[in-house]
């Protein structure tokens, strides 16, 4: 039996996309901590627009403030007229280490009005990184960020008016948003699908799914999270677990155990109505229904020639959990 999601590790509820009064959020970092802790979260990544500000003072034995920032790559200035009609890349860069507070890519001319008051507090290496709308620019930014101690998450592609051609050549991205609460709940966009994540996998990119609030207002608070598995709660334990894929994304269902024994997948979770097995080819979404009744434990046949698999769980309210893709060398 090979455990992919072990019952022995601690589980921490983490929101990897959030905005505070450092940019265009309604709440201060202190208020965000209080609201998320009240909802059972152990960590929040503060990813304000174009401004990396540390919040180590918010950390305690029960809560970790991860720090990062969201880069917006637009075809013009950050406050261009008719901005809503233009494509954009939004990428979160999150620091692996708590003491990494030097912004790897900074262009003050591209800081939106909502965050300009934070520019004096930004630390960067003195080199201006010219930001423009192109996949090449994203790739160079992600490369530099990875080298300087950050990992990258590709955000809300549907809201950003992105198409396959915009993201197919992206490299070095650790995570892809499969659900964005702000886009779904407030703007009713289609950023609630694993289709783009599946595209990344089919292109050979080993990424993780991310479900995040992108919280600016109270209406989008607590709708999505990543469950991160780690031995204990610390800044580096969380980022290391995220990087190595000890996490899954969810808007409701929780996974207690995921293991493979030969050609059988063993799954234990909170009550769900459906589980879909994806193995990366046509007719790959094999459903497990149990006659429509709710179930918590199931065994799923895994085709012997499957090069990888991932699961999507759906509960009776339609909420979903998304595992990352697991590859043959991990479960064979």
Per-residue confidence band for 125, with pLDDT thresholds at 50, 70 and 90: confident
Mean pLDDT of 240-256: 98
* 195 class by beta-carbon count within 10 Å (0-12 exposed, 13-18 middle, 19+ buried): exposed
User: In the prediction, which pLDDT does 78 show?
Assistant: 62
Query: 3-state DSSP call for residue 148?
Result: coil
Instruction: Provide the token pair at 36.
Output: 């998320």
The arithmetic mean of pLDDT across residues 21-42, rounded, is 97
pLDDT at 79: 63
Calculated CA dihedral for residues 239, 245, 251, 255, nearest 10 degrees: -120
How confident is the model at residue 207, as a pLDDT? 98
Strands 295-301 and 247-250: unpaired
pLDDT digits (tens, 9 = 90+) for 282-300: 766 667 777 789 999 999 9
Compute the average pLDDT of residues 30-48. Answer: 98
pLDDT at 83 over 60: yes
Strand ranges (DSSP E) for the chain? 2-5, 10-15, 43-49, 64-73, 89-95, 150-154, 175-180, 208-212, 225-230, 247-250, 255-261, 264-272, 274-278, 286-288, 295-301, 308-314, 320-322, 326-327
Side-chain-side CA neighbours of 329 within 13 Å: the count stands at 0
Work out the average pLDDT over 102-129.
92
pLDDT at 81: 57
Which pLDDT score is estimated for 166? Answer: 97
- Which top CATH class is 255-331? mainly beta
User: Six-digit token pair at 261?
Assistant: 């024994």
Cα 53 to Cα 252: distance, rounded to the nearest angstrom: 30
Model pLDDT, residue 324: 98
**2-5, strands of its sheet edge to edge:** 2-5, 255-261, 264-272, 295-301
| Range list for CATH 3.20.20.140 in the chain | 10-249
Asked if the model's pLDDT at residue 26 lies above 70, the reply is: yes
pLDDT one-digit tens code per residue, 192-205: 999 999 999 999 99
What confidence tier does 247 reach under pLDDT thresholds 50, 70, 90?
Answer: very high
Residue percentage of the chain with pLDDT more than 70: 97
Superfamily of domain 10-249: Metal-dependent hydrolases (3.20.20.140)
Residues 318 and 322: their CA atoms lie apart, in Å, by 13
112 SS3 class = coil
Cβ atoms of 92 and 153 closer than 8 Å: yes
Average of pLDDT values for 205-228? Answer: 97
On whether the CB atoms of residues 180 and 158 are closer than 8 A, the answer is: no
The token pair at 126 is 């003195």
Asked if the model's pLDDT at residue 304 lies above 60, the reply is yes
Q: Is the per-residue pLDDT at 9 higher than 90?
A: yes
> Any residues with CB less than 8 A from the CB of 70 and at least 6 apart, and which?
17, 19, 47, 48, 49, 50, 90, 91, 92, 93, 155
Q: Give mean pLDDT, residues 72-79.
A: 77
| 123 phi-psi bin (left φ>0, alpha ψ -120 to 50, beta other) | beta
Closest CA to 42 of 250, 226, 257, 245: 226
What distance in Å separates the CA atoms of residue 47 and residue 271, rounded to the nearest whole number? Answer: 33
Average pLDDT, the chain: 94
Q: 73-77, 134-138, 143-147, 240-244: which has the minimum mean pLDDT?
A: 73-77
The pLDDT of residue 312 is 96
| Strand ranges inside 112-240, DSSP E | 150-154, 175-180, 208-212, 225-230
CATH 2.60.40 domain range(s) in the chain:
255-331
Q: What is the pLDDT of residue 178?
A: 98
User: What pLDDT digit, counting tens, does each position of 308-319 carry?
Assistant: 999 999 999 999
How confident is the model at residue 201, as a pLDDT? 97
Over residues 11-31, mean pLDDT? 97
Task: For residues 326 and 314, give the distance between their C-alpha atoms in angstroms, rounded to a whole number.
Answer: 19
Look up the pTM and report it: 0.96
């Amino acid at each position: 039996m090979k455990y992919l999601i072990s019952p022995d590790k601690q589980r921490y509820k983490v929101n990897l996309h959030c905005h505070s009064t450092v940019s265009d959020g309604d709440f201060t970092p202190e208020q965000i901590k209080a609201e998320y802790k009240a909802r059972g979260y152990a960590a929040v990544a503060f990813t304000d627009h174009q401004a990396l500000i540390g919040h180590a003072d918010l950390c305690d034995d029960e809560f970790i403030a991860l720090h990062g920032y969201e880069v917006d790559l637009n075809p013009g200035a950050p406050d261009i007229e008719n901005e809503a009609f233009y494509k954009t890349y939004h990428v979160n860069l999150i620091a692996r280490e708590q003491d990494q507070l030097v912004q790897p890519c900074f262009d003050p001319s591209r800081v939106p009005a909502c965050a300009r008051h934070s520019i004096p507090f930004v630390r960067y290496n003195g080199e201006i990184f010219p930001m423009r709308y192109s996949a090449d620019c994203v790739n160079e930014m992600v490369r530099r960020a990875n080298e300087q101690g950050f990992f990258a998450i590709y955000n809300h592609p549907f809201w950003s008016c992105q198409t396959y051609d915009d993201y197919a050549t992206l490299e070095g991205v650790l995570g892809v948003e499969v659900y964005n609460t702000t886009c779904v709940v407030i703007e009713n966009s289609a950023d609630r699908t694993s289709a783009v994540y599946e595209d990344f996998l089919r292109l050979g990119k080993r990424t993780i799914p991310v479900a995040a609030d992108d919280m600016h207002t109270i209406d989008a608070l607590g709708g999505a999270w990543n469950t991160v598995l780690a031995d204990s709660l610390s800044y580096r334990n969380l980022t290391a677990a995220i990087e190595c894929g000890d996490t899954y994304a969810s808007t409701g269902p929780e996974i207690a155990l995921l293991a493979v024994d030969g050609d059988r997948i063993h799954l234990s979770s909170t009550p769900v109505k459906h589980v879909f097995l994806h193995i990366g080819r046509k007719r790959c979404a094999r459903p497990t229904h149990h006659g429509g009744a709710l179930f918590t434990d199931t065994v799923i046949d895994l085709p012997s020639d499957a090069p990888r698999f991932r699961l999507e769980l759906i509960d009776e309210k339609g909420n979903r959990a998304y595992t990352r893709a697991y590859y043959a060398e991990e479960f064979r």
